[in-house]
Amino acid sequence: MNERLSWRDPIRALARAAGEAIMQVYAGDFAIEHKADDSPVTEADLAAHRIILAGLTALTPSIPVLTEEGGLPAWAERQQWSRYWLVDPLDGTREFVKRNGEFSVNIALIEQHAPVLGVVYAPALGLEYAAVHGVGSWRFHPEGREERLSVRPVPAVPTLALSRSHGSKKEQALIDALGTVEIVRCGSALKTCLVAAGEADLYPRFGPTSEWDTAASQCVLEAAGGQLVDLAGNRLGYNHKDCMLNPSFVAFGAALPVSYAVLSAVQASQPVPRA
């Protein structure tokens, strides 16, 4: 059996275990602290981190694990890695704090700078996605049904998946440039998964994200036939540099419903060229 595929279900189980710990915290009162970059962190983030780190270390003891809450190894060490696990134990902590349910556990396996296995689990919503590069992309339903995912052709009126907590003037400029669009807002990596499931056509992100925010859902999208690229059309890659920040990017399905010239103009806050 494909080694990556053999790990799919153990990683799903690990994500669900982390999700259970998150939901225990979610059900009660919890303290909110802030990291150096002012992003929030809760006991749920840390509990999920501990569960995932222990589980991955037991499953694949020879593969390094990099998680958002585990500290960043030195670049001199990381640049030697050809394969490693990249984890966001709780993506969408702001959504967790707001109690809107739109947060997820993200676990990805990176090989040669690309995500090749990804699991995204939203415990409060019962949404679970997984993908294995070269094999397929799936959504798992609570009753046990397994659904293959595939992006859709761009309809006459495309749907944009936009952030619940990070709206911007740049997003509005893109909406204006596209004309008539449908908009769905949600948190965390779920926006990219909506594109993978054929429920949205474009997710633009002009604000900052980190590599652990995108890796798992990028795998889900790419295995469903979509792409996640920077504003020059280059596939997002991983562990190429000391800094963990991503460039601005777009996730899209069967086709990009806007030009890179428009995207670049929006990013630069310049007048947007018209078709």
pLDDT over 60 (residue 200): yes
**pLDDT of 167:** 63
Confidence category of residue 163, pLDDT binned at 50, 70, 90: confident
**Token match 């799919």: residue?**
8
In the chain, the domains with their CATH numbers are: 3-148 (3.30.540.10), 159-267 (3.40.190.80)
- 247 contact partners, CB below 8 Å, separation of at least 6: 230, 231, 236
Measured CA to CA, the distance from residue 193 to residue 204 in angstroms comes to 13
Comparing CA positions, the residue from 236, 240, 179, 231 lying closest to residue 206 is: 231
**What tens digit of pLDDT does each residue of 216-263 get?**
999 999 999 999 999 999 999 999 999 999 999 999 999 999 999 999
Measured CA to CA, the distance from residue 201 to residue 154 in angstroms comes to 6
Confidence category of residue 271, pLDDT binned at 50, 70, 90: confident
pTM metric for this prediction: 0.95
**pLDDT of 41:** 82
**pLDDT of 12:** 98
**pLDDT of 275:** 45
**What tens digit of pLDDT does each residue of 82-92 get?**
999 999 999 99
The phi, psi pair for 58, rounded to 5°, reads: -75, -40
Measured CA to CA, the distance from residue 105 to residue 90 in angstroms comes to 5
Please give the average per-residue pLDDT across 20-31, as a whole number: 91
Tell the burial category of 127 from Cβ atoms under 10 Å away from its Cβ (0-12, 13-18, 19+): buried
Measured CA to CA, the distance from residue 137 to residue 150 in angstroms comes to 8
